[in-house]
Amino acid sequence: MHILVTNDDGVLSPGILALAQEMQQLGKVTILAPDRNWSASGHVKTLERPLRVKQVVLADQSTAWACDGAPSDCVSLALHGFVEEKIDLVVSGINSYANLGHDVTYSGTVTAAMEATIWGIPAVAFSLDQPDNFAGIVDYCPAARAAKRVAQAVAHYGLPKDVLLNVNIPFLPDDQLKGFRISRMGLRVYHDKMDRRIDPRGKPYYWIIGDSPTSVPERGTDIGTLADGYVSITPIQLDLTAYSLMPEIDTWDWNLELPANHANPHE
Ligand code: MN
């Protein structure tokens, strides 16, 4: 088995090294990942500039490829000929924070896996639910060992077309991890704010800031599963169609005229 390992935290981050080392026990590993942090970059296809790739040496003296594109660009390059040998599985991570609920739409970790899914290669995104202000050195090894269990299962059972796995791993030592649970996407609560500032030339610029997202720890969701000490596995499909709404929207009158004082019916 030939496994492509990528991430969105950058090729030199500790999470990708721990993941690659575990994947080496399952087969041949090629690492191709961004040369810098692309967290929260979403699903990107770089079209307006060329992509450059260079070889780098990781902390364990293994070699990897570093690309100046997005995580999804890395996967695209690898699957379209940069990596000559056929790739059987793509794993992305281990991201340094959880990717829960609607985070998957922002996550470079998850969208790297989505890129592989688009091209028909089984893919899994791995994220570690480490606390926000953890002071020590984060140990990715327990999470990497859990990732190996998942990768083995995907290699054995396969994944249907159009589906990837989003895996979130609790920040716990091996003997406190309770097991694996299949979960649905939960609800994240975002606290974004806009900060408008003035640059030295008197022109405005903007930051999107605010506290980290919080989450609703409902049972059966990725968030609830992590809170219970289990590895959360959410199958995600790229078909985002809201099928149950199609008949209702099909009854809408496309010729109606809005009154001037119209209010949103959903508020
Ligand atoms: Mn990240």
pLDDT digits (tens, 9 = 90+) for 118-177: 999 999 999 999 998 898 999 999 999 999 999 999 999 999 999 999 999 999 999 999
d(CA 180, CA 139): 20
pLDDT band at residue 254 using 50, 70 and 90 as cut-offs: very high
With CA atoms as reference, report the closest residue to 6 among 74, 60, 57, 56: 74
Domain of residue 182, residue span: 2-188+216-249
Residue 60 DSSP label? T
d(CA 126, CA 176): 19
- Domain contains 239: yes
Question: Is 141 part of a structural domain of the chain?
Answer: yes
Q: How far is the CA of 41 from the centre of ligand 1 (A)?
A: 9
**Does the residue 123 lie in any domain?**
yes
Give the distance (Å) from ligand 1 centre to CA of residue 10: 8
Q: How confident is the model at residue 260 (pLDDT cuts 50, 70, 90)?
A: confident
Q: Calculate how far, in angstroms, residue 201's C-alpha sits from the geometric centre of ligand 1.
A: 33
Q: How far apart are the first and last CA of the chain?
A: 52
- The answer to whether residue 209 is domain-embedded is no
Number of domains in the chain: 1
CB atoms within 10 A of CB 62: 14
Supply 228's token pair.
């219970």
Q: What is the CATH number of the domain that holds 84?
A: 3.40.1210.10
Helix (H) / strand (E) element for 142: namely helix 141-157
Cis amide linkage into residue 94, ω under 30° from 0: yes
- pLDDT of 29: 98
Q: Ligand 1 center to residue 213 CA distance, Å? A: 14
Å from CA of 193 to ligand 1 middle: 21
Instruction: Examine the pLDDT at 249 and tell me if it is beyond 80.
Output: yes
How far does residue 15's CA lie from ligand 1's centre (Å)?
Answer: 10
pLDDT score at 266: 76
pLDDT class of 34 with cuts at 50, 70, 90 = very high
CA of 251 to the centre of ligand 1 (A): 42
Q: Is residue 102 part of a domain?
A: yes
Residue with more model confidence, 69 or 212? 69
Q: Nearest CA to 59 among 128, 110, 10?
A: 10
In a domain, 260, yes or no: no
Residue type, 135: A
Give the distance from CA 142 to its chain's centroid: 19
Q: Is the peptide bond before 249 cis (omega within 30 degrees of 0)?
A: no
The DSSP H or E segment spanning 127 is: strand 123-129
Q: Is residue 78 part of a domain?
A: yes
CA of 149 to the centre of ligand 1 (A): 22
Ligand 1 center–CA 91 separation, angstroms: 14
Confidence tier at 262 by pLDDT (50, 70, 90): confident
pLDDT band at 41 (very low <50, low <70, confident <90, very high): very high
Amino acid letter, 265: P
Q: What is the pLDDT of residues 65-93, one digit of tens each?
A: 999 999 999 999 999 999 999 999 999 99
What confidence score (pLDDT) does residue 231 get?
Answer: 98
CB atoms within 10 A of CB 54: 11
Rounded CA-CA distance 138/178 in Å is: 20
